[in-house]
Amino acid sequence: MAIWNLGSINIDRVYRLDSLPLPGETLTSRSYGWGLGGKGANQSVAAAGAGAVTHHLGAMGSGDDWVVERLAARGVDTAHVARMADQATGHAIIMVDDKAENAIVIHPGANRAIDEDHLARSLTGIGAGDTLLLQNETSGQIAAAQAANAAGARVIYSAAPFDLQAVRQVLPHVTILAMNEGEAAQLFAAMPGDLPVQGLLITRGSKGAEYRDLTTGRTHEQASFKVTPVDTTGAGDTFAGYFAAGLDGGLSIPDALRRASAAAALQVTRPGAGDAIPTAAEVDAFLAAQS
């Protein structure tokens, strides 16, 4: 079994300043850092780190070779990542002031230019028992979900960044819908009543997470592990990737929730997004220390 992830690949460029610039103002940053980001790349690194065979489906510019090298170094298969000469690699310009307020500009670039024919060829290898991960930062979600369904695969869809129209379009092809607490509130307000999925995964930050099995009516809850957070960027992606890998590896829902919660707890104690995601061995050590 394997994880197939149609997901965004971004370069995070972080500038720290004394204050955020006003319109027309030019400021000098105190520091600059860069690293791997994008909800899709984060989830792929998490799934691979958890031990799942993970194939990333996506696109980026023709340069920035370090991005695919870093994904590959974390155990992600990048053979299906298209390189586009006419598109920039997706990236985020992140400005953070001394009060931790931020302003962010995201350029989706190649993430929104994924060719569906290339995607269809990439997905010929997906099969029954595999899992397709999706988020809202790329094109091609519906075509990928339909192909996965036809192959008998599980489809886990992270409805983020939240876009009601995108959710409505892909939902009929989804097995498990993953959201944070705020996204869930928006969805339930817009779409009251039963949802056409087997399960709902809802993360609640420091309040933990829950999985609602809509086929049995049972709810599984997982408390968060108590840690001192340094940077919460990418925590939800870490949780989703580890949860998917847990199911792929045959874990029960409660065990997959616990392992995903531990991975997210570890991740927030480190700065960064994709580069801060822990390995399976680190999660094992963390869980051992909790018992």
- Give the residue numbers marked as catalytic: 237
The CA-based dihedral angle spanning residues 110, 173, 235, 188, taken in that order and rounded to the nearest 10 degrees: 120
Confidence check: pLDDT of 96 > 90 = no
**What pLDDT was estimated at residue 103?**
86
Pairing of strands 199-203, 209-213: antiparallel
Q: What is the pLDDT of residues 207-243, one digit of tens each?
A: 999 999 999 999 999 999 999 988 888 899 999 999 9
d(CA 137, CA 134): 9
d(CA 196, CA 108): 29
**Alpha helices (runs of H) in the chain, residue ranges in sequence order:** 39-49, 65-73, 116-122, 141-150, 164-170, 181-190, 235-248, 253-267, 280-290
Sheet of 102-107: strands edge to edge? Answer: 31-37, 10-16, 90-96, 102-107
DSSP state of 225: P
**What pLDDT was estimated at residue 14?**
87
DSSP state of 181: H
Going by pLDDT thresholds of 50, 70 and 90, the confidence category of residue 194 is: confident
**What pLDDT was estimated at residue 272?**
82
